[in-house]
Structure 1
């Protein structure tokens, strides 16, 4: 259960930071005078789409935390045979990092009314995400060629389940990203795209965080990280 506690603590920290950025923790009723006299205390104007995405990401985070907890419990049994970490996973991780960076640049560009730069960043983010998915499918193919089948061992099943579930979330995100990219080429006002791009970027950053946690788990580094966290907490 330690891994799920650590994961949820990190998730709670990220959520708290995000809420602080949205000024949901402000208390304007404690101030006196005109609202414009106290910058940063105005009532937050948070779109419903961002709230909905935050709730969805919290559910997804809990889902992967449960997967990680089950992984740790199952690996303690004697029939567990850990799979090797394919070197291609490093390249795939790099592709997802580039995709997340590209979407962050798209947010920066759209806030500066640089529509052309935002279009380029959105296209780059989508292509690198597709490269990530293609790399994951290649990893699956290579593993099955080497005899690591889904039903061969519990470790194999967990590997395909967790990476496959993450890939499905990436695929779903690509649908939204594709629609946003298509809109970017059909509008002339950057302001009409800002919310959509910010939602896509938030989703992508979250999936990158989830993938890094998965990679640490599959590579066998999670035990060492948990021991470090225990030492820090004690």
Structure 2
């Protein structure tokens, strides 16, 4: 048992290091290592050449924190499975509809970042917001279906983890919707500022989509198979 837990911790640490490495690579791609104070010319021109809004740095740090949080909860789920055997959780069919809605939202936010026409940008962000709202409603329906078949909050560890992790994910989605509305409202009609804010939200949505797919793999048992492969490699 101790050896298995040690292997689990090794895999978890490797996962966290991977998240941090990807975040650092992303920040480098955004120009975080640029030195605008060494640029010559007017201040506005030099700032424009630096090309790295501070909002992107804040988002990158925030995503690392969220990724670490979900990684820790997922590791707790996997380690709990090693301690005891519990009945598997059958995901309701509406979960796949919810996943499709989240994919649609992510796609339309990405499309919005490429729009130069304000009307089309507004249309795409509205579609993304509606699809995301549908995802949240679908999650509530998924919870209700689980309760109908007897998989309530206290019916077993698998169900409890699903409610906790999907609820935590839903809260981050809800926060993203509120942030999207606030950022667009604060853009003041400035096209460049609007595209920047929508781009930040698109990155956030992409990240939450990846997290959601990871949670699905976890509850479908595929993550356990990957963990077994990692154990085989490490041992």
Partner Cα separation in structure 2 for residue 10 and residue 86 of structure 1 = 31
Aligned to 1:177: 180
Matched, 1:138 2:118: no
Aligned to 1:87: 93
Judged with a 3 Å threshold, the aligned counterparts in structure 2 of structure 1 residues 231 and 20 are, in CA distance, closer, same or farther, namely farther
* 1:11-160 correspondence to structure 2 within 5 Å: 11-25=19-33, 44-109=50-115, 113-160=116-163
Deviation, structure 1 residue 117: 1.4
- Higher helix fraction (1 or 2): 2
TM-score for both structures, normalised by structure 2: 0.82
Matched, 1:226 2:227: yes
Deviation, structure 1 residue 119: 0.7
Deviation, structure 1 residue 199: 1.4
Deviation, structure 1 residue 195: 2.0
* 1:144-223 correspondence to structure 2 within 5 Å: 144-182=147-185, 187=189, 189-223=190-224
Q: After superposition, what is the alpha-carbon deviation per residue over 1:127-154, rounded to whole angstroms, capped at 9, x for unaligned?
A: 1101111111100000001111111111
Partner Cα separation in structure 1 for residue 34 and residue 181 of structure 2 = 35
Deviation, structure 1 residue 194: 2.0
Q: CA RMSD in A?
A: 2.9
Judged with a 3 Å threshold, the aligned counterparts in structure 2 of structure 1 residues 27 and 45 are, in CA distance, closer, same or farther, namely closer
Partner Cα separation in structure 2 for residue 200 and residue 148 of structure 1 = 34
Structure 1 residues not aligned, in runs of 5+: 29-33, 36-41
Partner Cα separation in structure 1 for residue 94 and residue 75 of structure 2 = 25
Instruction: State the SS of the aligned residue for 1:58.
Output: helix
Contact 1:123 1:181 in 2 (8 A): no
Contact 1:4 1:68 in 2 (8 A): no
Contact 1:74 1:80 in 2 (8 A): no
